[in-house]
Structure 1
């Protein structure tokens, strides 16, 4: 469990486009290629026209039945339901970064968050659910197909637990912070390689996720005056580290092709992703997430 049961959720910060009909695209064949491509850093807009299944996806608008506004009301709902847990995590992230960034003379425009299934139209182009979670800097929106988290544990081998899912959400919000600071541009200017700008961008987002995790349990719910989230246990942190390792370049490449090629890395190794999440969590300070000045990405 992550949330105090009486905490109040704000569903206005999340748009639900999953719809009430239509199924999800199965991850297999072309879908698996898309998933791996996304996790290796290929943005959704570059996947268009490749014949990899994006033409099968359609954007589905939310139906009124069982909408998150109806079912996601309290921390107890966030503990019981994945979509509500995303809502709660988004609420916590927005609260933390809105208070933190002004210390660096940076204002925090709240990003949009979209839940989708099958496919979604974004400012960065049309994306299939197979691309996994992503942040689009053009429309300042984080997109999540909740089915990805089953793939994270079932196909990529991450341990199951709430903080694994919350880590993924926090990582994408880390890209929003980078969009505000301009750091996200390093990903396009230096797109691949073991010490590339792309790798440093992703590792910084991991570090920002750790910073949020360290500070999340100190936030009070204005409606109750009590902490919004419960303290994370050692087990919770191990689950988050497992998720970080599961999406390392070396882990994914070895699983998909049998070997790892550091010259094509875009997100960092499993060990690096764990190390930078831990750096953020142990320091609780965004200023300690300067991956761009680091001479050794293995040792923050």
Structure 2
């Protein structure tokens, strides 16, 4: 069983993976990953997802904020996949204020969100690191990223990723990076599709990209999420295209998922 967290710490938000997964060395050959029907579904239709008011370190307002974004995600991705004739089941969301075991593993240090494919649900921890400075777009991106793992799950990519063999830790890490960077790109797809409904500026988007550039494997001993520049690049790629077609991380050269 695999689960995937998104993490935050010390004003820089690090994307870290906890749990296990199976993968193989590039090039990946499983068509469920490389030629998934999701890539041919076109752009997400524009929709409205205005942000709710949120106060720093205020759990009730954070729950309302994140739940509103989550509801937009269920509606947008659900309609998109149904129009394409693809299977869909709504995800679920939950909140905790202290670390706990989830999806068969303990909560990782600085982890902000974890998606559990077996439950089709993700948890978000509402602590000082996550909601201490909620004025930027990190929380919006957080729930969109975790929901993207649900999209991977219902389209068969999650299962294909889990079952892939690997011969070394470096091969495994590269495939985890491909999976995580795809989720980041799909988060950008959704954010691009609702952008005109947000009371945000181009500077807000650039600030979020800067946060992503200042995160990643450069800040940890792990090599399983990619360098900050690649994390930001895939987020921005999805945002600008608004289409899952731009998020095929499984066929690009290794340098783009380094």
TM-score greater than 0.5 by the shorter chain: yes
Would the alpha carbon gap of residues 276 and 297 (structure 1) be closer, same or farther in structure 2, given more than 3 Å must change? farther
> 2:234 is matched with which residue: 269, 276, 299?
276
Aligned-pair CA distance for 1:145: 0.7
Conserved? CA contact 1:78–1:88, under 8 Å: no
Would the alpha carbon gap of residues 76 and 150 (structure 1) be closer, same or farther in structure 2, given more than 3 Å must change? closer
CA shift digits 1:62-95 (9 cap, x unpaired): xxxxxxxxxxxx9675345332221121111112
Conserved? CA contact 1:116–1:129, under 8 Å: no
- Structure of higher RCO (CA pairs closer than 8 Å, 6+ residues apart): 2
TM-score by length of 2: 0.69
Aligned-pair CA distance for 1:181: 2.0
TM-score by length of 1: 0.60
Conserved? CA contact 1:291–1:297, under 8 Å: no
> 1:40 is matched with which residue: 13, 16, 30?
16
Gaps of 5+ in 1: 1-26, 29-34, 45-73, 154-159, 219-228, 254-263
> 1:149 is matched with which residue: 115, 124, 130?
130
The residue that corresponds to 1:182 in the other structure is 156
The residue that corresponds to 1:136 in the other structure is 116
Conserved? CA contact 1:210–1:280, under 8 Å: yes
CA shift digits 1:225-256 (9 cap, x unpaired): xxxx3253112212321332344112334xxx
3-state SS in 2 of match to 1:266? coil
The residue that corresponds to 2:209 in the other structure is 241
CA shift digits 1:124-165 (9 cap, x unpaired): 3453674331111111111101224257x7xxxxxx633111
Would the alpha carbon gap of residues 252 and 104 (structure 1) be closer, same or farther in structure 2, given more than 3 Å must change? farther
Q: CA RMSD in A?
A: 3.3
> 1:173 is matched with which residue: 144, 147, 150?
147
Would the alpha carbon gap of residues 265 and 126 (structure 1) be closer, same or farther in structure 2, given more than 3 Å must change? closer
The residue that corresponds to 2:92 in the other structure is 112
